[in-house]
Amino acid sequence: MSRPPERGFTLLELLLVLVIAATGYVLVARLASGGVSGAELKSAARAVAAGLRDARGTAIARQEATALNLDLEKRAFEVEGGRSRALPARLELKLYTAQSEIVDDRRGAIRFYPDGSSTGGRVTAHRFAGRLARGRRPRPGGEPRHAGARVEAMSGRRRARGFTLLETVVALTLLAVMLGLLFAGLRTGLRAWDAGTDRGDRADRALLAFSFVRKELAAAFPWRLKDPLTVKLAFRGERERLRFVSMRPAEIGGSGLSFVSFEYEQARGARADGRLVMRRAFAAAASADFAPLDAAEAFPLLDGVTSVRFEYYGAENDTAQPAWSDSWDHAQRLPTHVRLAAKTGDHAIPEFVVALRIGEEAGCYESSFQRTCVPRR
């Protein structure tokens, strides 16, 4: 089998390829030209910024004023005492600076001082469009005269700006307000802390005092007074005072019985609050009332008390229903429970209830092991 001959390109195909290649070359060239112009613009901006930093650093280092001189005609700038640096020719440049630093409409400077301040100003750069305004004559070489070059004046010399009196007053006012709010919050917190601490201290003192009252009531004894007219139990309960007979604790001087009184003592003189006090006196066999307690010394149990309330729970007789009462003066019956409530200032102390170990039938009391009744006399 014979091999077919290799086919070449026709003239039309070659012309079409050449046209496409030329078109692509032109497009790539224009795009590359635009990219170079953009890179030149960024490079020029970095160069001017570096020159400004160099001028400021030189002024601070040498402790003398140093200027950055810009020549828009020649598209060049220099730091005083340094070499001139050129900028791309096809850039639209504008210099905004102080009136005192303008040499002419194409030359000017930005001056820096030893303290780091400056006369102020800025340099702007844009790519030049390359076309002349209608009716203007081009310069030889195709560029317009002073194309895009301009120096404009700024108002006066501008150094590093400090604070005005108004700004200082406003700042101090805001600082004072913030400090006032801070101290107010701190003071409120301290007051809350002190109030919580005082409340806790009052609760601890009340708990200790109530525990002592509970201990004495638990040791109550069914003693009968030797009244010539009647025989009554030695137990008198009032709203603000409670008197009864208790077995004397061993730690205060041996065995025996004693009259005990818990009562609210009103404030006297400049004191605004009262107190809960206790009195104790020896119970003689021939005692007809609680008179020995009147001459007994008062021992304070709880200070700063504004009110004290005793309440008593029990039945007046065998057929009555037990109920709470603010007094108890029954001749033959004792209450089954005693409740104590107190108040200090605006804070109420949690009340507590004590169950007497003496039964409803006077003369009987209960211990952990047995029930014991004392014969009536």
pLDDT at site 227 = 65
pLDDT at site 132 = 32
Among residues of the chain, what percentage have pLDDT more than 90? 7
Closest CA to 282 of 249, 305, 248: 248
Single-letter residue type at 128:
F
**pLDDT averaged over every residue in the chain:** 75
Determine contact, residues 322/337, Cβ cutoff 8 Å. Answer: no
pLDDT at site 367 = 45
Two tokens, residue 124: 């702007």
More confident site: 260 or 357: 260
Neighbours of 134 (CB within 10 A): 5
Cα–Cα distance for residue pair 242/251, rounded to 1 Å: 23
Give all domains of the chain, ordered by start, each with its CATH number.
11-154 (3.55.40), 201-373 (no CATH)
Q: Tell me the per-residue pLDDT of 3-38, one tens digit each, with 9 for 90 and over.
A: 555 566 676 776 676 767 767 666 655 555 544 467
Instruction: Output the 3-class SS for 242-293.
Output: EEEEEECCHHHCCCCEEEEEEEEECCCCCCCCEEEEEEEEECCCCCCCCHHH
pLDDT at site 224 = 78
- Residue 182: exposure state from Cβ atoms within 10 A (0-12, 13-18, ≥19): exposed
Two tokens, residue 246: 């208790």
- pLDDT of 219 over the 50 cut: yes
Cα–Cα distance for residue pair 58/54, rounded to 1 Å: 6
Single-letter residue type at 17:
V
Q: Tell me the per-residue pLDDT of 329-374, one tens digit each, with 9 for 90 and over.
A: 876 788 888 999 888 777 777 888 888 876 545 455 444 444 455 4
- pLDDT of 228 over the 70 cut: no
- pLDDT of 242 over the 80 cut: yes
Output the pTM of the full model: 0.46
Q: Say which residue the tokens 């120096």 belong to.
A: 151
pLDDT category at 261 given cuts 50, 70, 90 is: very high
Single-letter residue type at 188:
T
More confident site: 307 or 40: 307
Two tokens, residue 251: 């730690």
More confident site: 352 or 229: 352
